[in-house]
Amino acid sequence: MRKAISSSTLLGKEKSIVIVHDGQRYLLSMTKFRKLILTK
């Protein structure tokens, strides 16, 4: 079974966070319709 982390745990009260993976920065953000978007 894979580890599951809720979006509220990741984002908290923020609408977006930066995730660093292999030295690259990605933006994980929640839209006004509560969808998640990951962009580079």
pLDDT in tens, 1-40: 999 999 999 999 999 999 999 999 999 999 999 999 999 9
Residue 1: inside a domain: no
pLDDT score at 23? 97
pLDDT score at 16? 96
| Contact (CB, 8 A) for 16 and 25 | no
Supply the CATH number for residue 34's domain: 2.10.70.10
Residue 32: inside a domain: yes
| CA 35, 9, 6, 25 torsion-angle sign | positive
The count of structural domains within the chain is 1
pLDDT score at 3? 95
pLDDT score at 26? 98
Q: Which residues contact 38 (CB under 8 A, 6 or more apart)?
A: 19, 26, 27, 28
pLDDT score at 21? 97
pLDDT score at 22? 98
